Structure 1
């Protein structure tokens, strides 16, 4: 068989951009927990000793934004200036305004519209992707990259020795120690033996030094790791990010429903590989278009698979929120999505990962 190299990447929960994603989704969780009809568009940015939360939020909830920021930073491990941010002493700035009335009247009519009549919160297009190359129906390269990152965090939090395993490291730890620990405690437990041999090349902290990290070493911003959030470069990605957005924002909810559609197509044996696209105009409930491509792996023509998708999935934003239970926040539900991917995870809160049975005539 022909072989080729394809790279997917992952970053850990402590990456400044991922820190911002998690804060934005922690705010979303808090808003939805108190008011399921909250309209949330929350952005976060961070730099040395500073976190700023800003955006447009309309909610009946009483939200302590500063506490959410500090709690999220502390949980990740930002507890001192030595790691780039001190959760208890950093500067926290909050600049939150109400949702624009122009958007509100077009999307949900100040909550007077029926769920099926709620319009899309923005224009845009979203993609869902699935492949049968892994049990998660996700690309193998992305699954392995994500699991490596998650394992690295697990080791860091469970053992003191692991402080020399992270990409950011103590100044006293040598590169040889880092490489040995990464191979033994992170790579071997994650990567199947069949993918490792004497020809495998390891690049472990190839810069030679990474002592200054976190927001001190690199600014962070919500929504800058969208490929890590989705399919690792396989398939496609729409125009928007996910974190900090309530389900009327189709950048998020639309991407969730087309992942469920693509995954259901593959899981039901209609194709081995599939991409589904949906697009919206702001304020309009019905999608402008729905597209299916099985890359030539379909058991029946793509046109017929598209008809099956349209019969089994309701792509209107209000109905997506109902079918996937996206107005339920709290307990870190959306916070969990903000690190290690929104797709391919076995968690009951990830309702978009549930496969729908699709009826079709098999040849």
Structure 2
């Protein structure tokens, strides 16, 4: 086993350089907490990948989260990341990648690859491709979860801009999801609910 990527976003004082932050976090955090046998020359380390992080907290971010994130999705049935959909445009992966994960999971189950499917997609700010795609079928998969994950990364472009184009998210379609959730809405024509990739996924279980 090995660690493929490490992502750290750390707010810092204005008088500290990015180089110093990176050096200190590698020395005092990464090297002190992660076993060296899990790191190699291919391990990617992202520390404040968008640049300096002086302004943070409520001064830097504001939005809706808490209970709203749960009622918008699965009502507490499934674990969820920390970002709500409401109040954000589709360039934020909190919205677009969550929709894409829903879309992929539905197609995986419909293709007969598993009876249940949970997808975790991890991003680093400023890095287009996800640093991790994790599939959990809760032991219901007809092939290994790792193989399903490989199929997903091969069949779907998970860069935010590609997701926006694929699901055509730059449209005024979100008002109708402001109540009664975003998922499982058979009463609405939502792109992430479509089962249009079943054929593409079935070939991996032949």
Q: TM-score, normalised by structure 1?
A: 0.37
Aligned-partner Cα distance in 2 for 1:281–1:249: 12
In structure 1, the gaps of 5 or more residues are 1-105, 107-220
Aligned-partner Cα distance in 2 for 1:250–1:353: 17
What displacement does 1:327 show? Answer: 0.6
Query: Which secondary structure state, in structure 2, belongs to the residue aligned with residue 292 of structure 1?
Result: strand
Q: 2:191 aligns with which of 338, 343, 351?
A: 351
Per the alignment, residue 334 of structure 1 pairs with: 174
Please report the RMSD computed on the Cα atoms of aligned residues, expressed in angstroms. 1.7
Q: 2:64 aligns with which of 214, 222, 226?
A: 222
Aligned-partner Cα distance in 1 for 2:157–2:171: 19
Whether the 8 Å CA contact 1:308–1:360 is kept in 2: the answer is no
> Which 4+ stretches in 1 moved above 4 angstroms?
none
Decide whether aligned partners of structure 1 residues 361 and 250 sit closer, same or farther in structure 2, where only a CA change above 3 A counts. Answer: closer
Whether the 8 Å CA contact 1:250–1:317 is kept in 2: the answer is yes
Per the alignment, residue 257 of structure 1 pairs with: 100
Which is strand-richer, 1 or 2? 1
Q: 1:247 aligns with which of 90, 93, 118?
A: 90
Q: 1:310 aligns with which of 148, 153, 157?
A: 153
Aligned-partner Cα distance in 1 for 2:130–2:204: 27
Aligned length: 141
Q: 2:77 aligns with which of 234, 238, 241?
A: 234
What displacement does 1:359 show? Answer: 3.2
In structure 2, the gaps of 5 or more residues are 1-49, 51-62
Whether the 8 Å CA contact 2:112–2:202 is kept in 1: the answer is no
Which structure has the larger Rg? 1
Query: Which secondary structure state, in structure 2, belongs to the residue aligned with residue 339 of structure 1?
Result: coil
Decide whether aligned partners of structure 1 residues 326 and 270 sit closer, same or farther in structure 2, where only a CA change above 3 A counts. Answer: same
1:122-271 superposed matches below 5 A? 222-223=64-65, 224-271=67-114
Q: 1:294 aligns with which of 132, 137, 160?
A: 137
Structure number with greater CO (CA < 8 Å, separation at least 6) is 1
Q: 2:162 aligns with which of 293, 313, 319?
A: 319
Q: TM-score, normalised by structure 2?
A: 0.64
